[in-house]
Amino acid sequence: MNKEGDLNLRPTNRGNLAFLQGFLRYPEQVASFIPSSRFLERRIVDCACIRQAGLVVELGPGTGGTSQAMLNAMGPQARLLSIEITPEFVEVLSRHPDPRMTAHLGSAEHVCDILKQYRLGPPDVVVSGIPFSTMPTATGEQIIRSVWDCLPPGGIFVAYQVRDRVVQLGRKLLGEPELIERELLNVPPMRFYRWRKPEA
Ligand SMILES: C[S@@+](CC[C@H](N)C(=O)[O-])C[C@H]1O[C@@H](n2cnc3c(N)ncnc32)[C@H](O)[C@@H]1O
């Protein structure tokens, strides 16, 4: 363990290589050739209020850099359910030794069923790194609907994206985001959007 309490499970060169191989194999699905930067990881933790969350769902964890950043900020009793569609990435994720994390091979469209499968209640936060701009419109809309259905009142949805496709797809159901930010210290620069499900 290093002095920040970080278990040093960040993507190693092997994790980065697996990520690049995943991109070369499924370019539209992975949509980036390197994992997110540390700056972007920090912004996810802050924007999504990860420190206060008891249950976090991550959509599209890749090889787990963003998952590790969230785990570092989460409490000892908190849980992270990471849903990833690329089998090679789930293989990497499933070797992660932190018992707070569950890596599930599947699509974000089925987030409600996947939560039930693990007997988990409604999450406090859903964080999405999946590329809405390269997937069919119907799939993107279905994912947004499922995320909104599984969140309790007051629950948070954060999506980081290169473009604003998730805002366009979600406008009718989610309304306008309560927060919009940009992280320039990432390749490529990312937009951040946050919605909160109304209490009533
Ligand atoms: C841009 S990468 C983000 C990886 C990581 N979160 C990061 O920021 O470094 C997008 C990830 O979303 C995954 N993905 C794409 N469509 C998905 C879906 N429908 N359900 C779950 N994961 C998906 C890809 O396999 C890939 O791992």
Ligand 1 atom closest to Cα of residue 29: 15
Ligand 1 residue neighbourhood (C-beta within 6 Å): 29-32, 35-36, 59-62, 65-66, 83-86, 89, 107-108, 129-131
Q: What pLDDT does residue 4 have?
A: 34
Instruction: For residue 41, give its domain range.
Output: 13-196
Cis peptide, bond prior to residue 122, ω within 30 of zero: no
For residue 33, is it within any domain? yes
For residue 200, what pLDDT is reported?
73
Say if residue 11's pLDDT is above 90: no
Assess if residue 122 is contained within a domain. yes
* Residue 38 CA, ligand 1 centroid: distance in Å: 17
Closest Cα to atom 11 of ligand 1: 60
Q: Does 2 map to a domain?
A: no
Domain count, the chain: 1
Q: Residue 8 domain-assigned?
A: no
Residue nearest to atom 19 of ligand 1 (CA): 107
Question: Is the pLDDT assigned to residue 6 strictly greater than 50?
Answer: no
Is 6 within the bounds of a domain?
no
Query: For 105-164, how does the pLDDT look when each residue is reduced to its tens digit (9 = 90+)?
Result: 999 999 999 999 999 999 999 999 999 999 999 999 999 999 999 999 999 999 999 999
What are the pLDDT digits (tens) for 33-90?
A: 999 999 999 999 999 999 999 999 999 999 999 999 999 999 999 999 999 999 999 9
Distance 107 CA to ligand 1 centre (A): 10
- 38 part of a folded domain: yes
Tell me the CATH number at 111.
3.40.50.150
Q: Residue 3: inside a domain, yes or no?
A: no
How high is the pLDDT of residue 13?
67
Domain membership of residue 95 (yes or no) is: yes
